[in-house]
Amino acid sequence: MSLLKKMNLSGNSQGPARFGICKGDEPGHLGIWGVWKDTSTEVFRVVVKANSQVSSIKVADASYTFAPAKDHSFVQSIETSQELKQFLVGSDRARSGQITFEFFLDNQKTITVTLPLAEVIKNLRGKGSKAPSQAMISEGYLAQDTSAIASIPHADLKAHSEKVKTEIAEKIRKAEEERKRLEEEKKAALAKAQAEAAAKAAKPAAAAAASAAPVDRTKPTLTPAKTAIFFGSSTGNTANIAEMLKKELGSVDYLKNITDIHPVDLTVVENIIIGVPTWHIGELQDDWAAMLPEVKALTFAGKKVAVFGLGDGKGYADTYVDGMAELLEPFEKGGAKLVGLWPTDGYDFKKSKAIRDGKFLGLVIDVENQDNLTDKRVKGWASQIQKELGL
Ligand SMILES: Cc1cc2nc3c(=O)[nH]c(=O)nc-3n(C[C@H](O)[C@H](O)[C@H](O)COP(=O)(O)O)c2cc1C
């Protein structure tokens, strides 16, 4: 009731039952409504009739069957026929006349609402006009009748209307079923598409993962040879000394930064010369530190190892070239024989773990404080290990 009050209603507003028209909820639709007090008054049909003395357009009566509406009120949107539209708003429309709405009621009565054309045109929803939201709220069922159905006597309307109701309910149920089925189908298709897209995306990722798969660091990159210098160097000093040594020694098969080899490459030569600066206050240089666990797993039986280390005796006097000792340990434990012990004479430092039997474990170079001695020291150690290594 309150819903209908809100609407712009045309129709009869007298008596226990009131019927009328309002704006349809779709273009070309007309709204019809009814409100009644008497619970026995139910509406089963509305017949729309166009009358004009002046128009040549013949409009057949249009009949719509209702299923009983609830709550003694209804609002329905009915689709007007082409002829009726033509009659109302066409180029050769009827300029005067009326439209009659005959509401067939349960109690065998018919309520007739006759409205002037202008009133009906006002409520015929045009293409661009806004749908009245209220008119969409409709209870009960409505179907446009075929002429055969339209001829059903009033007395039989109730039964017919029940039939219509069942038919429409069935249609709605089927439509809902179909809607759900389509929705499921859509969902399944979407899930499939998503899975396919994910699989597609995963393929190059898998290929990339395969190509980025960890290389087998237990396989050597170098072929067996006699002598190699392997070094780690964070700021290049140790790399320079390694170069100098190679020059001095002459017969060195490989000069390699350890970032360019596999740990197992350390074992492919008979004479292993390793170079390491000390960093982070007594620690191994980073690349060596990273490789150390793998070095610990290797065996160096029958091999000779010589070590050279860089350090800063003034800046890090208490941890002077400590890294040499830490690096050497797995080589010696792995079976390598240490050569190249080097006197500590002339060096300026306080403490070092790289001393054995009063000598450094190998050549020590201090470019920060004694770079003037570097050349001499490199040359001296090179000639010493040449002999010890049998080069
Ligand atoms: C942060 C830092 C920490 C260092 N710690 C030590 C150390 O504990 N003992 C040492 O003898 N030298 C130490 N050094 C000196 C380096 O070993 C030295 O600079 C060396 O030449 C660097 O060699 P590289 O350029 O090959 O990495 C340290 C240097 C820096 C910058």
pLDDT value at position 363?
Answer: 98
Q: In angstroms, what is the span from residue 255 Cα to ligand 1's centroid?
A: 21
| C-beta atoms surrounding 254 within 10 Å | 20
Q: In angstroms, what is the span from residue 339 Cα to ligand 1's centroid?
A: 24
Of the options 1.10.760.10, 3.40.50.2000, 3.90.1150.180, 3.40.50.360, the CATH number for the domain spanning 225-386:
3.40.50.360
Q: In angstroms, what is the span from residue 222 Cα to ligand 1's centroid?
A: 29
Local structure of 19: helix, strand or coil = strand
CA atoms within 13 Å, Cβ hemisphere of 19: 23
Q: What is the rounded distance in angstroms from the CA atom of residue 144 to the CA atom of residue 110? A: 18
Instruction: From 243, 278, 314, 367, give the residue whose CB has the most ligand 1 atoms within 8 Å, as the site to mutate.
Output: 278
Q: In angstroms, what is the span from residue 277 Cα to ligand 1's centroid?
A: 6
Ligand 1 atom nearest to 349, measured from its CA: 11
Q: In angstroms, what is the span from residue 351 Cα to ligand 1's centroid?
A: 15
Q: In angstroms, what is the span from residue 274 Cα to ligand 1's centroid?
A: 16
- The maximal CA–CA distance of the chain, rounded, in angstroms, is 134
CB 48 within 8 A of CB 77: no
The domains of the chain are located at 2-172, 225-386
Instruction: From 243, 288, 316, 366, give the residue whose CB has the most ligand 1 atoms within 8 Å, as the site to mutate.
Output: 316
Spatial CA neighbour of 319 closest among 328, 309, 329: 309
Q: In angstroms, what is the span from residue 365 Cα to ligand 1's centroid?
A: 11
List the chain residues with pLDDT less than 50.
1-8, 13, 133-140
Pairing, β 359-360 against β 342-343: antiparallel
Q: Determine which residue's CA is closest to atom 22 belonging to ligand 1.
A: 277
Q: In angstroms, what is the span from residue 77 Cα to ligand 1's centroid?
A: 90
pLDDT value at position 242?
Answer: 97
Instruction: From 310, 324, 353, give the residue whose CB has the most ligand 1 atoms within 8 Å, as the site to mutate.
Output: 310
Q: In angstroms, what is the span from residue 325 Cα to ligand 1's centroid?
A: 15
Instruction: From 259, 279, 367, give the residue whose CB has the most ligand 1 atoms within 8 Å, as the site to mutate.
Output: 279
Q: Taking the model in full, what pTM does it have?
A: 0.53
Q: Determine which residue's CA is closest to atom 7 belonging to ligand 1.
A: 281
Cα torsion 366, 372, 375, 376: sign: negative
CB 360 within 8 A of CB 343: yes
Residues with CB under 6 A from ligand 1: 233-238, 277-282, 285, 310-312, 316, 319-322, 367-368
pLDDT value at position 40?
Answer: 58
Q: What is the rounded distance in angstroms from the CA atom of residue 277 to the CA atom of residue 239? A: 10
Q: Determine which residue's CA is closest to atom 4 belonging to ligand 1.
A: 279
Phi, psi of 304 (to 5 degrees): -110, 145
Instruction: Note the pLDDT tens digit of each residue in 107-160.
Output: 777 888 888 888 888 888 876 655 554 433 344 456 666 776 677 787 887 787
Length of the chain as a residue count: 391
